């Protein structure tokens, strides 16, 4: 199969990853209207094509929170990444390192902070969920610092879990290995099974053996179901910022008022995000809120965005609207599920090529020069 687009990787991943894990990555909450809007709202934004301009010596390089990148595209924190492919977080981090872009490890990863640090050279970022067990959260922060992580991404939009119908139907709210349905999903993917047989990393290694009372998969599921903190507040952001002491990025901002509070918190950057459409269904798409948030706080804090990016053109549109960085989740997960580390590299290669060519067609040689003048008036 010739791979030309992210959609090509998606089709291959669907055939190779067990259904319950593929659906976990490729689904939203409730009716999935926000999940769909994240993608479709990009399509309404049109680009201005320019001609007879010098297209040589192009550069897509842009820093994100002071870190040089080959393009302003970070791999987003995604849970269960190591269930798309054996040792998935390690493989994705390696691909990101080779491509010169940041990798963000999720709290809910299969490979641990220490696993990824052991198998990579470049500093990666770590994403933190605030749990009721504050001692555990503090230890996670300390472990990330000790591993050399260069930024902490604090997720603010998962105090309670959204209603994710596919996960419920697939049995992911409990241990899937205790159901016939779970095994039926797994045993139909022999290639995936062979990969998993070759690794020791099968559970949430940031949690098992580190959180009190969590020693196996069964205790893990019951602990996780009770631990997300519905009382998370801006006061928590302060103690986390002080404990961490480094670059802090706040993820899950979708409203101008919250963006202003984020500025007041002293964070280094915010991510305009609706959790990939997996939390509040009916919330607006990330790209539709980006312009207003940039206009309100973009001169005071670095504004990033995620949600719905499926091409390099989408990246350019976000940059044109004022984003200083973007994140991809599903595109790299499709690559990982399809072809492992090679697939993640392919996903990044596809997005970079599309970004580079689109920038040239818009009449620019440097991505840092892209702005709203490169978008067709009335379409954004």
Q: Which residues are annotated as a binding site?
A: 24, 77-79, 106, 127, 129, 155, 164, 251, 273, 275, 278, 306-310, 329-330
Q: Tell me 45's DSSP state.
A: -
Residue identified by tokens 């973009």 is 298
Dist. CA 27–CA 274, nearest whole Å? 13
Which H helix or E strand runs over 296? helix 286-297
Could you tell me the two tokens for 239?
């103690």
Binding residues for FMN: 77-79, 106, 127, 155, 251, 273, 306-310, 329-330
Could you tell me the two tokens for 243?
């404990």
What is the per-residue DSSP string for 88-157?
HHHHHHHHHHHHT--BEE-TT-SS-HHHHHHT-SS--EEEEPPBS-HHHHHHHHHHHHHTT-SEEEEE-S
User: 124 φ, ψ to 5°?
Assistant: -115, 175
Dist. CA 42–CA 72, nearest whole Å? 17
Q: Clarify whether 202 is annotated catalytic.
A: no
How many residues belong to the chain?
Answer: 380
Rounded to whole angstroms, the maximal C-alpha distance in the chain is: 66
SS3 24: helix
Dist. CA 158–CA 102, nearest whole Å? 23
Is residue 125 within 8 Å of 152, Cβ to Cβ? yes
Binding residues for glyoxylate: 24, 129, 164, 275, 278
- List the catalytic residue out of 185, 275, 304, 374: 275
Catalytic residue numbers read 275
């Amino acid at each position: 199969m010739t791979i030309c687009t992210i959609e090509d990787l998606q089709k291959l991943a669907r055939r190779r990853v067990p259904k319950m894990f593929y659906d976990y990555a490729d689904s939203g909450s409730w009716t999935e209207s926000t999940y769909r809007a994240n993608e479709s709202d990009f399509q309404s934004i049109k680009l201005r094509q320019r001609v007879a301009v010098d297209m040589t010596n192009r550069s897509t390089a842009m820093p994100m929170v002071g870190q040089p990148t080959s393009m302003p595209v970070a791999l987003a924190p995604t849970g269960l990444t190591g269930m798309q492919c054996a040792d998935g977080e390690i493989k994705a981090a390696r691909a990101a390192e080779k491509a010169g872009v940041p990798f963000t490890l999720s709290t809910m990863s299969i490979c641990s902070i220490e696993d990824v640090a052991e198998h990579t050279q470049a500093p990666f970022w770590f994403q933190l969920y605030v749990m009721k067990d504050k001692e555990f959260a503090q230890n996670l922060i300390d472990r990330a610092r000790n591993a050399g992580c260069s930024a902490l991404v604090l997720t603010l939009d998962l105090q309670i879990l959204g209603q994710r119908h596919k996960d419920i139907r697939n049995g992911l709210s409990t241990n899937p290995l205790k159901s016939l349905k779970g095994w039926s999903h797994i045993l139909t993917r022999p290639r995936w099974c062979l990969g998993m047989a070759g690794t020791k990393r099968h559970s949430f290694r940031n949690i098992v053996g580190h959180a009190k009372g969590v020693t196996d998969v069964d205790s893990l599921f019951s602990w996780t179901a009770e631990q997300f903190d519905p009382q998370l507040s801006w006061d928590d952001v302060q103690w986390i910022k002080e404990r961490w002491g480094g670059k802090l990025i706040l993820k899950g901002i979708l409203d101008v008022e919250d963006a202003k509070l984020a500025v007041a918190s002293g964070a280094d950057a915010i991510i305009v995000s609706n959790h990939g459409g997996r939390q509040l269904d009916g919330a607006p798409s990330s790209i539709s809120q980006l312009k207003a948030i940039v206009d309100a706080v973009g001169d005071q804090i670095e504004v990033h965005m995620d949600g719905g990016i499926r091409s390099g053109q989408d990246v350019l549109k976000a940059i044109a609207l004022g984003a200083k960085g973007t994140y991809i989740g599903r595109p790299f997960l499709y690559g990982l599920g399809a072809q492992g580390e090679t697939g993640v590299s392919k996903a990044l290669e596809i997005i970079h090529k599309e970004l580079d060519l689109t920038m040239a067609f818009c009449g620019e040689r440097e991505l840092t020069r892209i702005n709203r003048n490169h978008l067709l008036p009335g379409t954004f």
